[in-house]
Structure 1
Amino acid sequence: MSKKKSVSVPSRSLSKQDELLHAQAQYFRRLEDAQLTRSQKVKRYIWNPKNQEIFGRTATSWSKIGLFYLIFYGMLAALVAICMWVFFQTLDPRIPKWQLDRSLIGTNPGLGFRPMPMNNEESTLIWFQGSNKTNYQIWVDHILQFLDKYYVPSKIAKGNGQIKTCSHSDPPKADEVCEVDVRDWGDCNKDRHFNYHMNAPCIFLKLNKIYGWTPEYYDDPNNLPKDMPKKLKEHIRNITSIEVSFRRTVWITCEGENPADIEYLGPITYYPSQGFPGYYYPYLNREGYLSPLVAVKFERPVPGIVINVECRAWARNIRYSRSERMGSVHFELLID
């Protein structure tokens, strides 16, 4: 009895047959799709009961791709979290990594003033009518907003630091910060509307904070710069030997920029003194620290004229340039 030989079908023939079957299925599928309306195609895409597909994928397919992205983004999030954790281990929340000359802001603190025009950031014109409360109240409110943390110290962060009343003979210790007493501002207080209703406005000056910066004072009455105003020189020289520590101050002067401005600006009074006392420095970002302020009261500025005013900070390590506004601040004053 002869054995039958099995005839093997070449794989190439099977592949050809599969292609024909696939083409036939595609043809009938296109034919079926042509008979469907647009809304029916959308519904079938959302849920295809024939193939058990949701949005073109089966539940198994969706679970696989969902698991993949869950693992992928989970590992990515974990990697970012680890990198951020390592990064924050190199930082101190209170001490900047780059200080003074190595920092972007450098070692030359800028001088700022309040109030500032709110509607135009590029403008430095303080323009008000003392006889119109609605008009000048805008400036008063802006000052109050700036001084809020000075009038209500509880709003600032509190930690282990202690707030004390400092003096030149009693500077703060390592865990203390100096108080800024609002009662020292004299006529420049909120009860008097900062004198805007009297056409004798108060401007508040502050020195920008630079961590670790310590001023080099003009404390030698025999070694003062030539361009220092004569009145300030006299003030420094009139400090008695008993009060010699008072010379350890970052001095402040405000003057008209031009001879006409000087005449129109009139007399000026500084509260609590004509500068920032040295015991507020260096700034070390302690809890409760508030920058010292100088309230500048312009007693009798001439109304109806735009007066150009320049206020300057005086210390040996504060560089000054009028063109670049270094070590000084400029604003205009106009009283209607």
Structure 2
Amino acid sequence: MELNELNRDPSRPLNVVRIATNGIRDGPSNPPPKPPEFIPPHIQQQEQQKRKWYKFCYDKQNKTVCDRSCTSWLYILSYSIFYIIFLCVFTLILLYASLCIIKSTEVYNSEPEKLLLCPGHSNIGLTAIPTAVNKMSLISYKDSDYVKYVDALENVVSKKYSDVTKQLGPCGVAPFGYGDTPCVVIKVNRHYGSSALPLKPRSLNSTDIPRNIKLLASTAPKLWLQCSGSSPYDTEHIGTVKYYPDPPGFDPGIYDPANDSDTGLVGVQFSNFTKGMALSIECSLYYKGGKSTVDFVLYVSSLKK
């Protein structure tokens, strides 16, 4: 027995205190393991929750995102795109159908004046000749470049309504005042089933009826016409307006738009208006229940060739 073994402390293990004769400690090759570090339970729980969340967002082992594979997400995205496209198309079709339904009802045109421009049971339409020469509500010329308007008036007024051209004055014979005092002939359109009646005395209190129309309506039961500028600016530059016949009224007993009788005509002549300006003119026919309106633009160039 070695000397170190004889002199050892009996309370200590032999393999720990054993030292070889050459002075080197003869013990285990690895140090004893350290006890595990103590982690509080709530910290451990938080770490477990984090690991679960990270695994839910992206599972590297199963290659999933939010517990779904890439193929599954591709299907979901494709279905979502198709659903959005279908929803947009369905919404557009529904809106278009709704607009069509609204346009087909009287609620769409809530303004009485605009309703009277469309053919209906109790209203009549108006035509301004020769504004339809270029398929536009426009009379535009300079110097003697108005032959097309004279021809249009002759074809419609002089040939078709020769029996009433005498009452049209200068608006009933060529050149119909064209040059400095052009004429526009207002014609009542034929409309079967129309029941437009003259203004009644009790309806003359309406604020929508001009004062001069009220005065005319109190003298005779007719449909009365008035032409003026569409705006105060146009009215300021429209100059003098003359009517043939004067006063400008249609007798529904003679010219009834509801039958085959010849329609009434009124010649409207403009003079002393401002040249070189586009004047918007509105001619309105007043009768019981409202009025009918026709609009056109008059432009005479102030430049000379």
TM interval, shorter chain, is 0.5 to 0.7
Counterpart contact for 2:187–2:263, Cα < 8 Å: yes
Q: Deviations over 1:111-162 (max 9, x none)?
A: 111002433x2x2111012x32xx11111001111111112xxxxxxxxxxx
With normalisation by structure 2, the TM-score equals: 0.54
2:269 counterpart of 1:303: no
2:87 counterpart of 1:114: no
What's the secondary structure of 2:235's corresponding residue?
helix
What's the secondary structure of 2:253's corresponding residue?
helix
Could you tell me how far apart the structure 1 residues matched to 2:197 and 2:258 are?
A: 17
Could you tell me how far apart the structure 2 residues matched to 1:262 and 1:284 are?
A: 33
Greater share of helix residues, 1 or 2? 1
Could you tell me how far apart the structure 1 residues matched to 2:266 and 2:253 are?
A: 15
1:128 aligns with 141
2:173 aligns with 190
1:212/1:106 CA distance change after superposition, 3 Å: closer
2:215 counterpart of 1:234: yes
2:291 counterpart of 1:280: no
What's the secondary structure of 2:242's corresponding residue?
strand
What's the secondary structure of 2:215's corresponding residue?
helix
Counterpart contact for 1:213–1:281, Cα < 8 Å: no
1:144 aligns with 154
- The residue type equivalent to 1:189 in the other structure is G
What's the secondary structure of 1:312's corresponding residue?
strand
Q: How many residues align?
A: 181
1:259/1:284 CA distance change after superposition, 3 Å: closer
Matching residue within 229, 234, 239 for 1:261: 234
State the Cα distance separating 1:283 from its structure 2 match.
4.0
2:198 aligns with 217
Q: Which runs of 4+ in 1 moved over 4 A?
A: none
* Identity in percent: 27
State the Cα distance separating 1:105 from its structure 2 match.
4.7
What's the secondary structure of 1:186's corresponding residue?
helix
Counterpart contact for 1:211–1:282, Cα < 8 Å: no
State the Cα distance separating 1:228 from its structure 2 match.
1.8
Unaligned residue ranges in structure 2 (runs of 5+): 1-118
- The residue type equivalent to 2:191 in the other structure is I
Q: Deviations over 1:279-302 (max 9, x none)?
A: 22544544xx31111111112221
Following superposition of structure 1 onto structure 2, how do residues 66-215 of structure 1 map, counting pairs within 5 Å?
Answer: 105-119=120-134, 121=135, 123-129=136-142, 131-132=143-144, 135-147=145-157, 148-151=159-162, 180-191=163-174, 193-197=175-179, 199-215=180-196
2:52 aligns with none
1:333 aligns with 298
Counterpart contact for 2:190–2:259, Cα < 8 Å: no
With normalisation by structure 1, the TM-score equals: 0.50
Unaligned residue ranges in structure 1 (runs of 5+): 1-103, 152-179, 240-246, 321-326
